[in-house]
Structure 1
């Protein structure tokens, strides 16, 4: 079997305008990256700002050439889709320029951890100038993600340094290729969409994660439009599939270009969300002006650029300008004017709209229904915990389970929150259960152990309180727990398996009660119960009245508690009001009724005579059998429904 081709490494090139990025790429690859008009006219290809460098062993580097002028920083963010590494180009005859710093700043904000510096146009500078620029670059790299990045003097014109740069790029690509996005479902941020005569809509971009095959259906987020994929081209060639990091064009005949404009994302249906209220963990740039509550901002992620406002937590509001000192980070709400499709962990660049300036970068953590308030401290902590779990799949799915109401979640709910494939999500959930971070409930649902642990502690407290107040009870009404936990959290408990409930000392009982497994009534209740049970047993279906039963109880023992104990233990049934019957007598009546209905039909006088009772007691018992599902009324008659239906309430 042929081994799968290794995924290519997307490598961005950044730097000041006219520092020779495009010429350097052309010298390395033999392809000038800026040919998109020609490619668009040729067909479904994607070489907008791209070129590729292939090595003999199959390693491939796809270059993203970023425009150098400041107004196109948003294209730099778009180019970062799938970017594993970057090359900063600094001209030896110019040195570090303002846009050099800004582009490097953006690379740092976007979390590009692998990089090198090409000192271009070395043929236009003397040795002293080259050394000066080299020192300037080393100063720029200090306290960055690239403190030890190699600096390669090179000339696209003469070829000087090209072999050394090529080898350095190879080493860099091998370092960057270790990034694993195998959990993620298919995502392709749209860079261009247009109509092609005879083919229909064509969408181009870089596949950010996951895989896609010809014939599959993709969804546009935001928007929700869907289309079958008629044809795929990768690197300008027809391909049966798209893979992460590959420059991809998709023919989508079921969509119009305006349905999938730049800034939208093509995704696997139902597995990636979009919204306008974003939870983002933000860290500001040290020299950026502080952001105030409600400050207008521009949010850039993937190919999208959307205006909105930033809303700070109360502590940051109270700290004022000091909130952003010393590299502090805050969980903020970003309210956008238009929806954006994102997955947790995706980086968002936050800029001042006018005059344009980079302010901060943030890690997207999720969408919200409304802004967080001061009282939402538990939700803030859960989101901070989620941020810390990024990169650890089992821990991350467990933290997702801790969000929201805490009710059990199915695999697809977790997958759509994270933008992962269902299979990868299931495997991560199973690992989380093995690590004690989550637990499965009711077969296909999961709950985080933080939520589950707190919930189970609360249930234990409710049960203990109930037993303290009602020591004679062997069963507990479900409503006792529902009223304490609330509707949503009660669903978690009610979804537990019998084994899991047993761990809490509970067992489901028919009706609306749970049996308390280790409950034992006080001795005096148990002894009085034996006396009362004997009387009811001898009474058959003509029971002793409550007042007479009360006289059988010793002083200080409540007849109500004794009767509740006998009902909980299953010895006595209470059809209605003050009527109490020995269970075996009612079971005998059930058998007689079933036999009649399976034969010639109901004969009430015969039942009355057989059980030596009266209509006063018999009719409530027959209605009790109706209520329990043994029989049912059909006009003046009764029919048999379920001869084995349980009689317990």
Structure 2
């Protein structure tokens, strides 16, 4: 199935021509029939000689109903331009053509009607001259009479040739169905109609109502007046929705594939038509079947920023029409360049933004988007209409390669600077680095870590972690010397203070494996745990705390936390009568998560820094 819209001046025979081609009445409403003009959108269809089905969107031609015309033309790929032979080119012919040109419609036919009333050649020549300078360019022209039927076979053949040139529909694209009619059928509920320009619909599908984000379920589908289980683009389709009141939907609303579109109230676009500086501050944007007031901010000669009165599900590359309803004037077409533009808060930001926009053509380009945005989520780019063909650097984050390399260099610099400034800390907290680099996600910092950096316990370290600053290493060596013959005795707090070993210095020494911490200010030499297990294994089993203290030649201050640590390591077991027995070999494995080394440590060299 293919869809073609009609366009042209009021009362030039568009509906009569559609009726003659299809045998159907496109003017559905009594008011339209009474007045003899199409006020709203009419629909009819026919089978062409090739067997192809073509559906016509019969749009109104009167100036007052141009917004309805734009709603009908917006979603369809081709147009049948209608001009009457006895009247020729007229004002609404020009406005319709301006709208078609603004939308970038490039596939069309020219039908000159009422060929039975006047010589069609002058009207054909005049219309072709008008069309030549637009997106339609040179089109095939056919003279017809909807009353006598003259020329209709030639028009059918021309329609076949037109349809053969249309690009293949994007049947794998997400659904974005612009609603052009909404009504209620007794026993069925709410029904909406629209032109399915991409994707496919099935009965039972869940869609999303763009205006509210609410989920809706497809209860039934109709195409060409018959019920269908499935409809593929391009097609005129009626969708019966389950559990949705009619007043929730109106022309300009959209039904979407969930999660595949983002709503935007702000966009940057390229204008084709009036100079940007000549535009009034407020215009109406026509896109799909929607007509939304917008505030216009010129950026460059042909680039503008538009703020929409209500958000729409727009994609990069969408085409829209800017129209001044007060002057009944099409100001031009807009190609959407960016649906998530940066704020313009600094002096000169608008001019700089215009310079960036000069390099954009409305084609979604992943490399270009990453170059401009530096970092972006794959899901967000997809919702903008950008095809994602690269692998994420972390989670679903994508990065510009050059920017990502620069971040890696900065990470090394910031981590090294931090370690120099905080030598006693076990590296830089990941969250601190995230703030330093201005990144939106901790996962990005973690993904950037490469040698000589390492990630340990939520911190990024630089170089070896078992080294200490020289003053701390010197104090630790003094403790090793003083307590070598008494490995189970712990320096008192005043001795630690005299050596310059405060809480931070002790923490650094413990993390480096140079000391073994039993309590806040109770530290032993790193091999003390294994030595203690050997000594206790030689005692009669089980043994008391007092026996252990005497065997270890230490104080209760040390013996209690030492035995508790051996219990946790599984080297000893505390019995109900508060005695203990040795269970494991004298060499005990380090406790998971203890963060210390139990083995004898080699002499502690000064901490090495890059």
TM-score range, shorter chain: 0.7 to 0.9
1:50 aligns with 2:43: yes
Contact 2:220 2:227 in 1 (8 A): yes
> Kindly tell me: are residues 134 and 202 of structure 1, through their superposed partners in 2, closer, same or farther at Cα, counting changes over 3 Å?
closer
User: What is the match of residue 509 of structure 1?
Assistant: 456
Q: CA distance change for structure 1 residues 258 and 522 in 2, over 3 Å: closer, same or farther?
A: closer
Instruction: Give the superposition deviation at 1:380.
Output: 5.2
Q: Equivalent residue of 2:213, what SS?
A: coil
* Contact 2:221–2:237 (CA under 8 A) maintained in structure 1: yes
**Counterparts in 2 of 1:604 and 1:115: CA distance versus 1, 3 Å:** farther
Task: State the partner residue of 1:257.
Answer: 246
Match of 2:434 in 1: 482
- Asked whether the equivalents of residues 298 and 306 of structure 1 are also in contact (C-alpha less than 8 Å), the reply is yes
Q: 1:566 to 1:458 in 2, by over 3 A?
A: same
Q: RMSD across aligned C-alpha pairs, in angstroms?
A: 5.0
* Residue 522 to residue 202, structure 1, CA distance change in 2 (3 Å): closer
Say yes or no: does 1:216 pair with 2:188. no
Which residue among 288, 291, 294 is the counterpart of 1:305?
291
Residues 448, 255 of structure 1: alpha-carbon distance in 2 compared, 3 angstrom cutoff: farther
Counterpart for residue 241 of structure 1: 230
CA distance in 2, matches of 1:262, 1:564: 68
1:60 match = 53
Give the drift of 1:256: 0.8
Where does residue 352 of structure 1 map in the other structure? 324
Instruction: Please state whether the residue corresponding to 1:229 is helix, strand or coil.
Output: strand
| Structure with greater helix share of residues | 1
Deviation at 1:450, TM superposition (A): 6.1
| Kept in 1: contact 2:339–2:384 (CA 8 A) | no
| Cα distance change on mapping 1:536 and 1:157 into 2, 3 Å | farther
Residue 209 of structure 2 aligns to a residue whose secondary structure is strand
2:145 maps to 1:192: no
1:101 maps to 2:53: no
Give 1:139's aligned residue.
129
Q: Distance in 2 between matches of 1:263 and 1:274?
A: 14
SS at match of 2:129: helix
Where does 1:553-572 land on structure 2 (aligned, <5 Å)? Answer: 570-572=513-515
Alpha-carbon distance in 2 for matches of 1:544, 1:168: 101
Q: Find the aligned partners of 1:618 and 1:204 in 2 and give their Cα distance.
A: 83
CA distance in 2, matches of 1:572, 1:382: 61
Query: What corresponds to 1:174 in structure 2?
Result: 164
Shift in Å at residue 189 of structure 1?
1.6
What is the correspondence of 1:389-408 to structure 2 with a 5 Å cutoff?
Answer: 390-392=363-365, 395=367, 399=370, 403=373, 406=375
- 1:4 maps to none
Among residues 271, 295, 300, which one is paired with 1:283 in the alignment? Answer: 271
**How many residues matched?**
565
Unaligned runs of 5+ in 1: 1-7, 40-46, 317-322, 420-424, 434-438, 629-636
- CA shift, 1:230, in A, is 1.9
Deviation at 1:67, TM superposition (A): 1.0
3-state secondary structure, aligned to 2:111: strand
User: Helix, strand or coil for the counterpart of 2:285?
Assistant: strand
How much does 1:509 deviate? 0.7
Structure 1 residue 582 displacement after superposition? 4.5
The Cα offsets for residues 416-460 of structure 1, whole Å up to 9 and x where unpaired, read as x337xxxxx9xx53x223xxxxx3424x55455465345334323
Q: 1:621-636 alignment to 2 at 5 Å? A: none
The corresponding residue for 2:14 is: 21
The alpha-carbon deviation at position 608 of structure 1 amounts to 5.3
For 1:268 and 1:377, the matched residues in 2 are separated by 34
User: Is this contact kept in 2: 1:11–1:64, CA < 8 A?
Assistant: yes
Partner in structure 2 of residue 319 of structure 1:
none
In the alignment, does 2:314 pair up with 1:342? yes
CA distance in 1 between partners of 2:557 and 2:329 (Å):
87
Matched, 1:492 2:422: no
Correspondence for 2:414 among 455, 462, 466? 462
Q: Does 1:165 align with 2:155?
A: yes
Whether the 8 Å contact between 2:419 and 2:427 is mirrored in structure 1 is no
Greater Cα shift, 445-454 or 256-265: 445-454
Structure 2 distance, partners of 1:570, 1:57, is 84
Paired residues of 2:416 and 2:462 also in contact (CA < 8 A): no
Asked if 1:432 is matched to 2:390, the reply is yes
Is the 8 Å Cα contact of residues 84 and 179 (structure 1) preserved in structure 2? no
TM-superposed deviation, 1:258: 0.3
- C-alpha displacement of 1:194: 1.9
1:261 Cα offset (Å): 1.9
Q: Do the aligned residues in 2 keep the contact of 1:234 with 1:248 (CA within 8 Å)? A: yes
CA deviation string 1:533-558 (max 9, x = no partner): 964994745456899999999xxxx9
Contact 1:81 1:208 in 2 (8 A): no
TM normalised by structure 1 equals 0.71
Residues 90-122 of structure 1: per-residue CA shift (max 9 Å, x gap): 223322222112111111111212223223333
SS at structure 2 position matched to 1:34:
coil
Q: Give the structure 1 partner of residue 69 of structure 2.
A: 76
The Cα of 1:240 is off from its aligned counterpart by 0.4
Query: 1: CA distance between counterparts of 2:133 and 2:262?
Result: 36
Determine the C-alpha separation between the residues in 1 that align with 2:18 and 2:411: 65
For residues 177 and 172 of structure 2, the distance between their equivalents in structure 1, rounded to whole angstroms, comes to 15
SS for the counterpart of 1:230 is strand
Give me the whole-angstrom Cα distance separating, in 1, the residues matched to 2:567 and 2:130: 84
Seen in structure 2, the aligned counterparts of structure 1 residues 289 and 9 have a Cα distance that, compared at 3 Å, is: farther
Deviation at 1:626, TM superposition (A): 13
Q: 1:452 aligns with which of 384, 387, 404?
A: 404
Cα distance, 1:68 vs structure 2: 0.8
Whether the aligned pair in 2 keeps the contact of 1:53 and 1:60 (CA below 8 Å) is: yes
Out of 381, 389, 394, the residue aligned to residue 441 of structure 1 is 394
**Of the candidates 250, 253, 269, which is equivalent to residue 258 of structure 2?**
269
Q: For residues 348 and 613 of structure 1, what CA distance do their matches in structure 2 show?
A: 86
Aligned to 1:647: 595
State how far apart, in whole Å, the 2-side matches of 1:627 and 1:297 are.
75
> Partner residue of 2:581?
none
User: C-alpha distance in 2, partners of 1:299/1:626?
Assistant: 75
